[in-house]
């Protein structure tokens, strides 16, 4: 009887230890799991001077974050706890300034990234020649003209596109719902 009571006590201790380890905040061998970042707004804080950005993908703590005007993608990544090992840093522009309501997708290695931030739109400022050629009425010559133009200055609006040789009103009308500036 005493022997079986001893086994039961040992079993109970192991169950309790298992529950504690399972529910703890320590990640034992689960480094690829991510946690959500929760933003609580203080009513007294002036939110007019803040940007709210949704960061997803290969960051430690994806979610909604609060940034200041002038902050960049690098600041958003830092606020999310940094990049995961599988993040493809060569496919993101760390210097790009963020805007309010942006959704920033940090791709994993091997993931296609010319589609901007999960919206299905091609970022006209980072797309490759091949990716630009996938747009209606954009061939290799016009795609090359886009790439040359953005070396001089970022394309920020419809008017910037109209300055590029080979792009007219008709082409802009066909691609404007497919691109992000």
Of all residues in the chain, what percent are helix, strand and coil, respectively (each to 5)? 35, 15, 50
pLDDT tens, position by position, 38-77: 554 444 455 568 999 999 899 999 999 999 999 999 999 9
Length of the chain equals 181
Residues ≥6 apart with Cβ < 8 Å to 112: none
10 Å Cβ neighbour count for 124? 26
pLDDT tens for 101-120 read: 888 888 888 875 555 444 56
Residues of the chain with CATH 3.10.20: 47-112
Nearest to 55 by CA among 107, 109, 96: 107
Which CATH architecture is the domain 47-112 placed in?
A: Roll (3.10)
What's the pTM value of the predicted model, to 2 decimals?
0.46
């Amino acid at each position: 009887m005493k022997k079986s009571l001893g086994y039961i006590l040992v079993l109970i201790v192991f169950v309790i230890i298992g529950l504690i380890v399972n529910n703890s905040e320590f990640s034992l061998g689960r480094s690829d799991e991510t946690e959500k970042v929760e933003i609580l707004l203080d009513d007294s804080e002036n939110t007019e001077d803040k940007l709210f950005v949704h960061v997803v993908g290969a960051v430690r703590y994806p979610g909604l974050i609060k940034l200041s005007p002038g902050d960049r993608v690098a600041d958003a990544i830092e606020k999310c706890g940094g990049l995961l090992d599988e993040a493809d840093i060569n496919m993101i522009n760390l210097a790009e300034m963020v805007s309010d309501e942006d959704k920033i997708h940090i791709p994993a290695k091997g993931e296609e990234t010319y589609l901007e931030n999960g919206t299905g739109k091609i970022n006209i400022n980072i797309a490759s020649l091949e990716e630009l050629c996938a747009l209606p009425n954009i061939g290799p010559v016009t795609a090359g003209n886009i790439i040359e133009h953005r070396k001089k200055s970022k394309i920020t609006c419809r008017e910037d596109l109209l300055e590029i040789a080979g792009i007219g009103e008709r082409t802009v009308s066909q691609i404007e719902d497919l691109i992000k500036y």
